[in-house]
């Protein structure tokens, strides 16, 4: 699978528009409404000033087209989150944690993030639950699943995902809102789509269970710049895009 070439010398406005055009085309091709798939900007290694440019570009685009849905922001590293979030607080972005979260970083992450997409163990879920009981609203969490089986990927094994999801949904202070995965590192579109289809099936099985706390588990965070079309075709509700909007990583 080859993603369209990205003009990394173009403006952030242009790159954001290009990604949104790809999303719109992918939704149209599969008969899905365009607002059904949200764009999460993965800001790993990007300085706060660059992230601000993207948020301002998003605001400009939405001023011209009110049907557009605001972007989300995602950070892989808690240290970067706590460095950038204060500088961007005036823009009130919706921050997601999208990388592995260590137990000793939970408190720092929860100062800024409204969603943690990378819950792969019950121990982490319990720690998040303990720290979230006094929040004004439950913490939104996704169960991260390693659908490809690649050792480099974070996430619970697909065979264990259902049980983990039910356990997470039962914890106080948390709201199970969906599932997340990183697609297979393969040029074969069939392999990539199979992984995304598996995540959709796991989500559907959890919803069909009717277990307490699972009715809100509708999100599928999957797909990046190289494979967003495959992810949208298999039901993604959030795609995570980094350099295709921000440009090359700074470090």
Q: Which CATH number characterizes residue 113's domain?
A: 3.20.20.10
Residue 25 belongs to a domain: yes
Residue 4 belongs to a domain: no
Residue 182 belongs to a domain: yes
Residue 156 belongs to a domain: yes
Residue 63 burial by Cβ neighbours in a 10 Å radius (0-12, 13-18, 19+): exposed
| Domain around 105 | 12-246
Token output for 142: 């996704």
Residue 70 burial by Cβ neighbours in a 10 Å radius (0-12, 13-18, 19+): middle
Residue 5 belongs to a domain: no
Strands 72-75 and 38-42: parallel
Token output for 8: 């990394």
Residue 164 belongs to a domain: yes
163-195 tens-digit pLDDT = 999 999 999 999 999 999 999 999 999 999 999
The total number of structural domains that make up the chain: 1
d(C-alpha 39, C-alpha 24), whole Å? 11
> Which of 249, 224, 243, 240 is CA-nearest to residue 97?
240
Residue 83 belongs to a domain: yes
pTM of the shown model: 0.94
pLDDT of residue 250: 59
pLDDT of residue 9: 60
Q: How far does CA 20 lie from the centroid of its chain?
A: 16
CA neighbours within 13 Å on the CB side: how many for 162?
13
Please say whether the beta carbons of 154 and 182 come within 8 A. Answer: yes
pLDDT in tens, the chain (251 residues): 455 544 556 799 999 999 999 999 999 999 999 999 999 999 999 999 999 999 999 999 999 999 999 999 999 999 999 999 999 999 999 999 999 999 999 999 999 999 999 999 999 999 999 999 889 999 999 999 999 999 999 999 999 999 999 999 999 999 999 999 999 999 999 999 999 999 999 999 999 999 999 999 999 999 999 999 999 999 999 999 999 999 877 55
pLDDT of residue 167: 98
């Amino acid at each position: 699978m080859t993603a369209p070439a990205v003009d990394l010398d173009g403006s952030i406005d242009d790159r954001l528009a290009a990604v949104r055009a790809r999303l719109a085309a992918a939704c149209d091709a599969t008969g899905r409404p365009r607002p059904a798939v949200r764009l999460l900007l993965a800001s790993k290694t990007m300085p706060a000033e660059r992230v601000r440019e993207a948020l301002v570009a998003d605001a400009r685009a939405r001023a011209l087209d009110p049907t557009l849905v605001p972007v989300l922001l995602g950070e892989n590293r808690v240290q970067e989150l706590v460095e950038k979030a204060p500088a961007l607080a005036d823009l009130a972005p919706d921050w997601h944690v999208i990388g592995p979260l260590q137990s000793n970083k939970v408190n720092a992450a929860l100062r800024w993030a409204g969603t943690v997409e990378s819950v792969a163990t019950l121990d982490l879920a319990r720690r998040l639950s303990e720290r979230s009981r006094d929040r004004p609203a439950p913490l939104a969490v996704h169960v991260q699943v390693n659908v490809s089986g690649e050792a480099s990927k974070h996430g619970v094994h697909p065979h264990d995902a259902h049980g983990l999801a039910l356990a997470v949904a039962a914890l106080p202070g948390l709201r199970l809102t969906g599932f997340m995965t990183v697609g297979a590192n393969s040029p074969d579109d069939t392999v990539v789509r199979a992984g995304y289809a598996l995540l959709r099936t796991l989500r559907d099985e959890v919803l069909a269970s009717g277990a307490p706390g699972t009715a809100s588990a509708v999100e599928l965070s999957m797909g990046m710049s190289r494979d967003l079309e495959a992810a949208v075709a298999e039901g993604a509700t959030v795609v995570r895009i980094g350099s295709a909007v921000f440009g090359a990583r700074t470090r």
